[in-house]
Amino acid sequence: MDKIKLGFALLLMAAGIAGFYYLRDSAMVIRVVSVLLGFLLAVTVAWFTIQGKQFYAFSRESSEETRKVVWPNRKETVQMTGIVFSFVVVMAIFLWMVDAGLLLSVKYMMGSGEGDG
């Protein structure tokens, strides 16, 4: 039975999107309401399935876990951002030097170095 409900929810979503295109000559507000109504009805139908209830429980638990996280303060955030930017600059310079060295090596091996003339 749940599969039928989920299929019906998908049809409601599709109907809302189809309504958006079907009402192309109507005001944008009506078109957007069509999509929102389709999604709202789809969520309502999906709510009464086992998967819908499991998803709601998962969402609630995720929200509770997010509140338990110790977020860094402003000073820590600025320091870590500075470290990341510094690392990126150092790596960019290193890779540029490796690339330039390889380019010179290839030019030398190919015989198109400075000695040609």
List the chain residues with pLDDT less than 70: 112-117
- CA-based angle 111:112:115, to the nearest 5? 85
- How confident is the model at residue 117, as a pLDDT? 45
The identity of residue 79, as a single letter, is: Q
Decide: 56 and 47 in contact? Cβ < 8 Å. Answer: yes
Burial environment of residue 40 by CB neighbours within 10 A (0 to 12, 13 to 18, 19 or more): middle
> Domain segments of the chain: what residues?
2-68, 71-117
| Cβ atoms of 2 and 49 closer than 8 Å | yes
What φ, ψ does residue 25 adopt, rounded to 5°?
-90, -5
Q: What is the pLDDT of residue 26?
A: 87
